Amino acid sequence: MSTRTTTLDERYGRTPSRRRRGRVRAVVVAGVVLVAAIVWGVWTGVGGTATALDVQTLGITVVDDQTTEVQWLVTGRPGTKLVCAIEATDKDDAVLGLVEVVVEPQGRMNRSGSTVIRTVRRASNGLIDSCRDA
């Protein structure tokens, strides 16, 4: 009977070497998943709140058909020079004017300003879109 059981185990892949390969394969897959999670965390800056940037539009003033003024606030990265994109849009969110502003480094987290944007026609909205390191 044991010969018949051994033959069936071999036929259906229930041998000790097969189980060992399955364990090795599982360990390798788990290792790859762990490395991928670590790389993703470093890439996206998970846990790096000290380097996070927050941009806020404080207000807008539509001066005339070709001019809009946007008041903005950037929070984060003190001492880092930034370039921020500030835009004026119409009611359909089409960009009518765009200005990139250099925000000089300061020793504090909050930096604010006001930017005048020339537009191709009357804007209905304005915003600080994004910032990046200069």
Q: Verify that 85 and 123 share a domain, yes or no.
A: yes
Buried b (16+ CB within 10 A) or exposed e, 48-78: eeeeeeebeeeebeeeeeebbbbbbebebbe
Say if residue 16 is in the same domain as residue 33: yes
Please indicate, yes or no, whether residues 29 and 81 belong to a single structural domain of this protein: no
Tokens of 10: 């071999």
What pLDDT is stored for residue 51 in this prediction? 55
Question: Greater confidence, 125 or 16?
Answer: 125
On whether both 56 and 116 belong to a single domain, the answer is: yes
User: Do 38 and 64 share a structural domain?
Assistant: no
30 and 96 part of one domain = no
Q: Please report which confidence band the pLDDT of residue 121 belongs to, taking 50, 70 and 90 as the band edges.
A: very high
Check whether 76 has a pLDDT greater than 90: no
Count of structural domains within the chain? 2
Whether the Cβ atoms of residue 96 and residue 123 lie closer than 8 Å to each other = yes
pLDDT in tens, 25-73: 999 999 999 999 988 888 776 655 455 688 999 999 999 999 999 999 9
Quick one: 34 and 58 in the same domain? no
Query: Domain check: are 55 and 96 in the same one?
Result: yes
Q: Are residues 79 and 20 in the same domain?
A: no
Residues 37, 69 within the same domain: no
Tens digit of each residue's pLDDT (9 = 90 or more) over 16-27: 777 788 888 999
Whether 88 and 25 map to the same domain: the answer is no
Which range marks the domain in which residue 32 is found?
Answer: 2-44
Residues 103 and 133 sit within 8 Å (Cβ to Cβ): no
